[in-house]
Amino acid sequence: MSNNPLKDKVALVTGGSRAAGRGIAVELGAAGATVYVTARTTRESRSEYGRPETIEETAELVTAAGGHGIAIQVDHLEHEQVKALVDRIARDHGRLDVLVNDIFGGDPLTQWETPLWEHDLDGGLRLLRLAIDTHIITSHYALPLLIKNPGGLVVEMTDGTKSYNDDNYRVSFFYDQAKSAVLRLGFAQAHELRPFGCAAVALTPGWLRSEAMLEHFGVTEENWRDAAAREPHFVISESPRFVGRAVAALAADADVLRWSGQSLSSGQLALEYGFTDVDGSRPDCWRYLVEVQDPGKPADVTGYR
């Protein structure tokens, strides 16, 4: 495969200021793509989430990786802002090859292990709007540009594979609904895109070493294994670049339509395409959860990374 398989391709990564969105944007850039990075947090202002990571930082990392990063502040609940974003991409390039819907920002609104009737209702409904409405609004405006060229790809980012989420309650009513709904967004868009030769998938990372997760455990990406002393199963975790490499592999696959409509994971695609995480391993988190963590077995990643 070429070192720049996505040269001349244009991608939009929403929710790209941090975590999986940042890892995806950087890996698309490393494959040669022009990547528009959107979110609400910039160097001048932060979103309600309050995290310090910015879209400008991500865009600079994209460019440093070999692509062309473009940062644009967008609230993806605001129709006119999303329309203006897509209009700009159309003016600048006349095409959109990859759309990654990675917006969430609902973690601070989630009251874990709190039943629906005790959960703050306004917070829960806001979580659903951030997790679902943002994706729908973005696709509504972006898909007419994406379908102009066969081979376009939509990636709906979620948490959990379909098989896992179908069998497991995700510890919060609103979080459970949000992450399961996004799986269906990928499936439905795949149906509508197929006549145009374009694909849509739902994709989940495993236990993600996001900036917030590293802070939670008091570690960095360099010494993340130290967190296993506190949470032994953290040994299955993966960097944001791992799921980024999954998206880049899908985007470069001339036969990506074979995946359309499916629920995929970073670990599954690593086995298919042969990429690794930044440490050279291939963590298979969702199989590990089912076979090791959920049954209560001792943490042991032998055969899982």
Mean of pLDDT values over 7-21: 97
* CA nearest neighbour of 3 among 64, 61, 66: 66
pLDDT score recorded for residue 267: 98
Residue 48 above 90 pLDDT? Answer: no
Spatial CB neighbours of 234, under 8 Å, sequence gap ≥ 6: 207, 217, 224, 225, 227, 228
* CA nearest neighbour of 240 among 72, 61, 98, 110: 61
pTM over 0.85: yes
Mean of pLDDT values over 68-76: 98
DSSP state of 8: T
Question: 225-263 pLDDT, tens per residue?
Answer: 999 999 999 999 999 999 999 999 999 999 999 999 999
CA atoms 39, 41, 45, 46: torsion sign: positive
Residue 181, CA distances (Å) to 13, 85, 162, 248 in order? 19, 25, 10, 24
pLDDT score recorded for residue 3: 83
Residue 1 above 70 pLDDT? Answer: no
Please provide the distance, in angstroms rounded to a whole number, between the alpha carbons at the two ends of the chain. Answer: 24
Q: Is 297 exposed, middle or buried (0-12, 13-18, 19+ CB in 10 A)?
A: exposed
Give kind and range of the element (H or E) at residue 99: strand 98-101
Question: 182-214 pLDDT, tens per residue?
Answer: 999 999 999 999 999 999 999 999 999 999 999
> What domains are there in the chain, each with its CATH number?
10-293 (3.40.50.720)
For residue 108 the two structure tokens come to: 């601070």
Question: 118-173 pLDDT, tens per residue?
Answer: 999 999 999 999 999 999 999 999 999 999 999 999 999 999 999 999 999 999 99
Question: 160-180 pLDDT, tens per residue?
Answer: 999 999 999 999 999 999 999
Q: How far apart are CA 34 and CA 46, in angstroms?
A: 25
Give kind and range of the element (H or E) at residue 211: helix 211-217
